[in-house]
A = this chain, B = another copy of it.
Amino acid sequence: MDTTKKTIILFSGDFDRVMAALIIANGAAAMGDDVTIFCTFWGLNILRKTEKVPSDGNSKKSSLQSMFGRMMPKGTKHLGLSKMNFAGAGAPMMRRATKDAGGMSLEELFDSAREQGVRFVACTLSMDILGFKADELIDGIEFEGVAAYLGTADEANVNLFI
């Protein structure tokens, strides 16, 4: 048990929940904690490259996976709110309100977390199911399964599921 380790399972891809996760991660990292964000299911979307990555012969997707890929947001720019999304208008409103309040944008929180050494981990099982290939995700992340997550969580004192 180590009070300087924290883990977050980021299951959600909702703007507001991602924002909460990143605020906690940045806060903990600023206090010197080792923080791991384990991105699974919809949370994987924040790790996707924003540009389309041409698939090579070794990484073919099923038509279902291609559809998932087209329908889900790439990166943090196009996430919707979990509540009051107003057909997409809610997240820009929340972005605006955050900016007006002098808060960091979602992209700044993400960059800050990475600069502070927060580990971003892509859940390999979710990648297999959704058909996300490693080269479609941003650089500098790690790839792990549930066993590795549990190993990290065993060493941490705060473990959240968001």
Contact = CB atoms under 8 A, between A and B. Distances in A.
Interface of A: 1, 3, 6, 9, 11, 13, 16-17, 20, 23-24, 26-28, 30-31, 33, 40-42, 62, 64-65, 68, 71-72, 83-84, 93-94, 96-98, 100-103, 125, 128-131, 145-147, 149-150, 153-154, 157-162
Given A26-B146, A154-B157, 12 more contacts: A11-B16, A20-B41, A23-B146, A24-B146, A30-B147, A64-B93, A64-B97, A64-B100, A97-B129, A101-B128, A153-B158, A159-B159
A18 to B, nearest CB: 12
A98 B41 CA distance: 12
A90 to B, nearest CB: 10
A161 to B, nearest CB: 4
Contacts of A17: 11
Contact of A11 (B20, B94, B103, B149): B20
Greatest chain B CB density within 10 A among A31, A83, A149 is at A83
Q: Which of A1, A64, A68, A125 has the most CB of B within 10 A?
A: A125
Contacts of A3: 1, 154
B150 A158 contact: yes
